[in-house]
Structure 1
């Protein structure tokens, strides 16, 4: 091959030796993800990771369809392939994809030789995280909260299989192994005079490969590597994904390309008809099958026929007929928190946790800063860059973790540019009437009311709700589930020193144990199987608690009514309508709203889980529509569209939604709605402080769900 330099134009006698299509980050694990139709313009399809999860049918279906269209499909794993599972198990499932069809080639530290001496090298190439950024990335990046790995513990003479979350040390080790393999394969290819094409998920270089917000957050090490030195002969082409920013550049003598779809709300530069061709003289050629640009189209039509200009101007005018976002309502759960309490046999007490029980952690603060940055990016055209009181209103439950989450979120939502930071930003505060422009923070009010008066973010004093909880707990569905778990409950009682008789008892303990496991301080008995069952118990408990129309109406009703009131104000152009209302709450708030719209499922909303109620104006028919999305991950920010029951599509007409919604919302004031229904009940007028008059099981349940009279 010689020492070739990449060039864009092939010579007159050059021969094409390799031609492929490329795409990544399709994220088929999200059921609402829409994949653009793409033509077949090459015989090879390269998938540079994060296509889907191997434990879900969507990935296999996609691959089998493409097998009928392409002769070869080369595929490497992305980080999301391993989410909600064990690294080792998922890797095996990915390798088994090769058995689906002979056209599929999943590559994990593996190579494939094509005609004309083209060598394909495939691996994930996890990024190397520097020591100074390891702490922040370990907190901020969801990989370290949603991917597990196997481990072992010695207990006496026995070796016990355990499961733990991956760490930065794990991904750095994988990076070192995979990079060493790549270097060895490149060396072999050089000796064999082969043309090398590399497929990785993480980027090989940090030059022009990252969206700006990842750099601003100082988490670039989680997405890119510093392997520019490897971009030399015989490496002709290096394709990657992961950054959600498509690129096409030359690094040294190697063409570095990505073609990433990303999440539904993102603009990544994805090209569904991208084709890449390599030639034997070292040139590459790219052709995109797209229409002429607008300027060319305009002048060519203008020269031909003036009547068609009317069509052009009609097309231009039609842009104004598109849906226009005029308001949003954001409901989110607080960030990572400490346990609410310690069970009898726990090895850690309140003093172990920074600020004690039930408090937002540093991890939780950073999670919400990142969510705030995402919201800034998503709503940049709706919100001013500085706080304007008439366009934003923030409401929080009266709990420390929800209030601190709201303030942390606002740091990300209203950031101060890095280049404005100075060493002595507070040096000039002599003018008491002007806010110092260089101060890296904007004071923004967060509103709350005492828990005893709060129906929007909690249930306050609501005896009827607690009556319903008792009924659900003793109902047939929960009793049957509890019976199925009896053997596990006996073990749980022994492990924790706590009495566990039913689903809700186990739920209380699960909350503490799962958090301890997240911080690697749980007992050795909290192995993979135990943690999986506890996660299942939490999901079942939330589901059945709010599956009742009465419970989800009492919890979600006042919150949705408040959102609905602001929507009406925006539609009627009243000055008291806010462009953005934010509600900082708890997991029960999220589940109750999902249940209200018949969209809940067996799960526990993760920290920072977010519901978005976007209000659009439709100029075409002078009407309004609401689109609801659920972001159910702490860092991916990919939304699931929620289709309300009366609507035929996710973009739901306000006129269609109005009668259904008004029929479902509480009909009376909440004090009346919450009056007890039991005729002989002694619960009349009961509040949270008197809940101890109810049976012990319900006391414990209320303690975990309503620790301060508001939602957990």
Structure 2
């Protein structure tokens, strides 16, 4: 009976359209893989108190030694799944892209050390080989950087905070929210703050840093539930999927097409994104896959393209959402019954591909407005300057003309 209860509890954390599967990939038909992983263990991304900085000598939001080790082990796990198919490291076989954070860049490097162990030491005592990791500035990284400026997405998220679902969460956790508002001296206790509360206490728990006397495991369990429920507000509207998840999904599916058309080269097999929990969550939501547990440290999403005998390409989605645990699940993609073809997926999900992301975000119009304001300001300044110059010139002319008609000496005409 206890075993059945445990299995039931375990399965409840999985999406309803999923099943557990084996670790090794079906390489008989495998043609191309996208892997999207979350960085390893890190320090808190935002502190609840400035005094807490003393607890984290690495700094804020930085990868820890354990986080690097987790990613190394994830790389070894990926080696178990794809090793024979990938072979040794080749520059034309894999491509690694990271968001522009220390923790994701370092995670990518640690992962590659596990995925591609060197055949021989780089130099005596250094059993490692360098593998390139690419990135791009946060400001232009709309695929991996959740906070890339997008006014329309921010507006849509503000509506989520005011939604009935958000109100339901506030009501359900009213006691906890009031408690934390008092203990943390938060005048305006908003739902968006709960992730920072969870994040700080989770990081402290992972690193055996004592909690305040008022925090205990029972309360933290409630905080964890609150965090996971609040996280489900992210990316769960059509607009948010299109603006926050659609760009990455479009890039992935278009790369599959490029592989089919030969644009990636014959040897291209594996493209990885070293990113964040929000990256995985946004992509899953855009697929229409909903989760109960937000992506954990050093876990990954795998999107595979398989080539059948009739040349049909099918897409399979796998999720490893347990840190250092082998358990892997496969999702059925909603609206695309197995075998889900790439063509069918493109037809179903292309509605999430922004035709012009900057314009849809409201960035282009803002730029044009700012541009017009600048032009108007310069024009106004030029007119004012010109007017003042002409007036000054006119005054000088009048003054000079008046002095010329007055004699320097006051001569009496009668003399």
TM tier, smaller: 0.7 to 0.9
Structure 2 residue aligned with 1:474: 162
In 1, distance between residues paired with 2:183 and 2:144?
A: 35
Q: Which of 79, 84, 91 is the aligned partner of 1:389? A: 91
Deviation at 1:381, TM superposition (A): 3.0
How far off is 1:439 after superposition? 4.5
1:426 is displaced (CA, Å) by 3.3
Q: Is the 8 A contact 1:360 1:404 kept in 2?
A: yes
Which deviates the most, 564-573 or 576-585? 576-585
Whose helix fraction is larger, Structure 1's or Structure 2's?
2
Residues 57 and 572 from structure 1, CA distance in 2 versus in 1: closer, same or farther, beyond 3 angstroms?
Answer: same
Residue 171 of structure 2 corresponds to residue 448 of structure 1: no
Structure 1 residues 295-318: Cα deviation after superposition (integer angstroms, max 9, x where no partner)? xxxxxxxxxxxxxxxxxxxxxxxx
Paired position in structure 2 for 1:671: 358
Distance 2:276 2:10 in 1: 33
The aligned counterpart of 1:622 is 311
Q: How many residues align?
A: 359
1:494 CA displacement: 2.2
Which residue is equivalent to 1:17? none
**Paired residue secondary structure (1:626):** strand
Aligned partners of 2:24 and 2:82 also within 8 Å: no
CA contact (8 A) 1:567 1:615 kept: yes
1:133-166 deviations in whole A, cap 9, x for unaligned? xxxxxxxxxxxxxxxxxxxxxxxxxxxxxxxxxx
5+ unaligned residues in a row in structure 2: which ranges? 14-19, 371-415
How many angstroms does 1:517 deviate by?
2.4
The change in CA–CA distance for 1:672 and 1:559 in structure 2 (over 3 A counts) is: same
Return the alpha-carbon distance in structure 2 between the equivalents of residues 59 and 595 of structure 1.
21
Given candidates 102, 107, 123, the residue that maps to 1:426 is 123
Structure 2 residue corresponding to 1:588, chosen from 278, 283, 286: 278
How far is 1:451 from its partner? 0.6
| Alpha-carbon distance between aligned partners in 2 of 1:445 and 1:414, rounded to the nearest angstrom | 12
1:509 to 194, 197, 201: 197
CA contact (8 A) 1:370 1:412 kept: yes
What runs of 5+ residues in structure 1 fail to find an aligned partner?
Answer: 1-50, 61-83, 85-261, 268-318, 428-437, 686-712
* Structure 1 residue 538 displacement after superposition: 1.3
Query: What is the correspondence of 1:539-554 to structure 2 with a 5 Å cutoff?
Result: 539-554=228-243
Greater RCO (Cα-Cα under 8 Å, separation 6 or more): 2
Return the offset for 1:404: 0.8
2:112 corresponds in structure 1 to 410
1:243-264 CA distance string (max 9 Å, x none):
xxxxxxxxxxxxxxxxxxx961
Shift of 1:380: 1.5
- What are the superposed Cα offsets for residues 467-515 of structure 1, whole Å, 9 maximum, x if unpaired? 1111111122212311332221121122222335332222232221222
Taking the aligned partners of 1:603 and 1:593, their CA distance within structure 2 comes to 15
Contact 1:552–1:596 (8 Å) recurs in 2? yes
Cross-structure match for 1:661: 349
Does 2:43 match 1:351?
A: no
CA contact 2:249–2:286 (8 Å) conserved in 1? no
Aligned to 2:325, which of 636, 656, 681? 636
Aligned equivalent of 1:709: none
For residues 403 and 613 of structure 1, do their structure 2 counterparts lie closer, same or farther at Cα, with a shift above 3 Å needed? same
More strand as a share of residues: 1
C-alpha distance in 1 between matches for 2:10 and 2:290 = 23
For normalisation by structure 2, the TM-score amounts to 0.79
Q: Work out whether residues 343 and 497 of structure 1, in 8 Å CA contact, stay in contact via their aligned partners in 2.
A: no
**Corresponding residue for 1:265?**
23
How far did residue 462 of structure 1 move? Answer: 1.0
1:646 deviates by: 2.3
Cα RMSD for the two superposed structures? 2.9
2:65 to 362, 368, 379: 362
Name the TM-score, length of structure 1 as normaliser. 0.47
Asked if 2 retains the 8 angstrom alpha-carbon contact of 1:538 and 1:603, the reply is no
